Amino acid sequence: MSARCSTVSSWRGPGVPLSVHQAALDLCAGLAAEGAAPAGRRMYRVYADRITTASTTA
């Protein structure tokens, strides 16, 4: 791996390492579980899509 880590950038400044986002996604898996609120499932799905896109372009 190069000296630069893969990041998910935001307009607020330097990005957070992609591994941190992936760990957060794993911790939030309950938001996608059966019986979760629709907004929670959608939020999880949008976040997961962003992580997947960032990891494929990194």
The one-digit pLDDT tens for each residue of the chain (58 residues) are 444 445 555 555 567 888 898 999 998 888 788 888 898 889 889 999 999 888 887 6
Amino acid identity for residue 42 in this structure: R
How far is the C-alpha of 6 from the C-alpha of 53, rounded, in Å? 12
pLDDT of residue 2: 42
Q: How many CA atoms lie within 13 A of 15 on its CB side?
A: 15
Q: Which residues contact 14 (CB under 8 A, 6 or more apart)?
A: 7
How far is the C-alpha of 8 from the C-alpha of 32, rounded, in Å? 21
- Say what the pTM is: 0.64
pLDDT of residue 32: 83
